[in-house]
Structure 1
């Protein structure tokens, strides 16, 4: 029997339906009432909010709570309950700084706790099982949902209402008839430092490119004090007229620019001139590999708060891989 620390942050798994819509009102003790007892657990409330309302300060609090939990010799693994809207961001930030071999597993729910078809209890049971699994030691931070466990790096919410809303990343394991089957273990880069207080107030904006968009919003973000900008380009990482010049001005002024793609899957491949990815990189944009713009934003927020150099940001954007189990 393993001992698992469960850290609660709110979200749909802790929500109950009300006149004004679902609201996060449940405590950690409430959402753990259905656990089978195969493993022992302790619980801690970090915050209680729908994840679309979380700020960087709350994310830092979660990171600090996870670090304290894995440092406890009596804890074998950690589960974080979290809303699905921004789970990909918090889980990725924690994976960047996770320096223990103990598994950290995020989970949540798509239906409120008082729904007759509530999915939170089953998801929590599976997350606890994953956090207790010796075969997942060293796997870093994971996301467990509806019988599937994926790496935090690369994961995206790809559906608004599906039972399993997540895609991307690497499938690390899945459940068959209640049994955990491990299929891959992520190969992870060296951990980055935990965020400090400066992280709370970092400003990193995401600018999305579309047909005919101008660089006006991009330049506004830079000129009004953004610490970094993530440019979500079209296709393999392209942007329209004027963006290359705007990127060059931003980088020269000390504002790093990370080039991602608005496409749900696939890497940035600078291949086009005439303002495309080649020109953007030549102007100083850092290719974001296959990171989603939301995850690139979290990496940029952490690094610029440290602070980090342009070369250090480039090094940290090296895409992780996995080895087959």
Structure 2
């Protein structure tokens, strides 16, 4: 086989799928992409070319690391012989990197993130099965035009709205608001749902550009404005407020939001609740309606993890608050089902 023939590219970044027990204790991402691929031990649906990006647990990744993965995806997709891309990635922050990649993906080729819940040296690793299924999806005609996806335990999710919902179970991911794109069997048989419309891709930031600080602050019973004030003092250009319920906080946090917005900081209100939109309903000094009046922008159906990723990217591209509001309105809304 030569790579002038149609093939899938496997980008290895580390994670549990590449992890083994270390002498120091605990599992550590150590296997190369070739080792991860060879662990399959059986033929796959499409020829595969393997590239290593890095070997890290995804809990260690920075936004710059995620941009490096996205840049590599764009580079390999310039090859017309590439059917699609599989990214092996730790599950802790897979929802962030996959979403960032989806925001900037404008091609027809599928990009599929996958990983494992059990280490490579466990008695029954789940990584090889997840990888084989992801390769089948990445090379499939039926998956073209679907954007960036997460495939885990046979279920294919759109990156937008996806989140890790189980710490240890093999079916680790869910997407309660944006739904499921399809299923893939252990034999590589794929059943994809109809594709909905996708927003236009956002540009990839230029290397060496501005790196805004974006912080996440949680509302909880008894919370005051100390942590949000500390974020402002540290130079935050954006803050995601993890509200309660439909996007609520309290009087102290709401007052600090007003101070932040007045100083030019962009504040996004999300929620800790698993599903449903962020909507301004309540007043009385700290509810969602008060946060809206103070200048906070609703995340729609995006949860804090992906709201933070979107805000970070937008601030790098164009810090205009009105434009950021428009993008969150568009991106925070689940797509309409295709007719």
Fold conserved between structures, TM > 0.5: yes
- CA distance in structure 2 between the aligned counterparts of 1:24 and 1:322, rounded to whole angstroms: 39
- CA distance in structure 1 between the aligned counterparts of 2:27 and 2:210, rounded to whole angstroms: 27
- CA distance in structure 2 between the aligned counterparts of 1:47 and 1:177, rounded to whole angstroms: 28
- Structure 1: segments with no counterpart, 5+ residues: none
User: Please, which of 11, 16, 35 is the counterpart of residue 12 of structure 1?
Assistant: 16
- CA distance in structure 2 between the aligned counterparts of 1:224 and 1:308, rounded to whole angstroms: 18
Contact (CA 8 Å) 1:63, 1:94: kept in 2 or not? yes
* TM alignment of 1:178-189, pairs within 5 A: 178=187, 179-189=189-199
Following superposition, the deviation at residue 268 of structure 1 comes to: 0.1
Contact (CA 8 Å) 2:217, 2:240: kept in 1 or not? yes
Quote the residue 1:100 is aligned against. 107
Corresponding pairs, count: 325
SS of residue in 2 equivalent to 1:112 = coil
Quote the residue 2:32 is aligned against. 27
312-321 vs 229-238, which moves further: 312-321
Quote the residue 2:317 is aligned against. 306
Quote the residue 1:126 is aligned against. 133
Contact (CA 8 Å) 2:18, 2:29: kept in 1 or not? yes
Contact (CA 8 Å) 1:109, 1:120: kept in 2 or not? yes
Contact (CA 8 Å) 2:297, 2:325: kept in 1 or not? yes
Alignment pair present for 1:47 and 2:54: yes
229-238 vs 171-180, which moves further: 171-180
- State the TM-score, normalizing by the size of structure 2: 0.92
User: Please, which of 59, 78, 89 is the counterpart of residue 66 of structure 2?
Assistant: 59
Contact (CA 8 Å) 2:44, 2:136: kept in 1 or not? no
Following superposition, the deviation at residue 223 of structure 1 comes to: 2.1
* TM alignment of 1:99-178, pairs within 5 A: 99-168=106-175, 169-176=178-185, 178=187
Residue deviations 1:73-110 (CA, integer Å, cap 9, x gap): 11010000000000000000000000111100000000
- CA distance in structure 2 between the aligned counterparts of 1:199 and 1:160, rounded to whole angstroms: 35
Contact (CA 8 Å) 1:238, 1:276: kept in 2 or not? yes
Alignment pair present for 1:258 and 2:268: yes
- CA distance in structure 2 between the aligned counterparts of 1:322 and 1:110, rounded to whole angstroms: 32
- Structure 2: segments with no counterpart, 5+ residues: none
Alignment pair present for 1:267 and 2:306: no
- CA distance in structure 1 between the aligned counterparts of 2:231 and 2:302, rounded to whole angstroms: 21
Contact (CA 8 Å) 1:84, 1:157: kept in 2 or not? yes
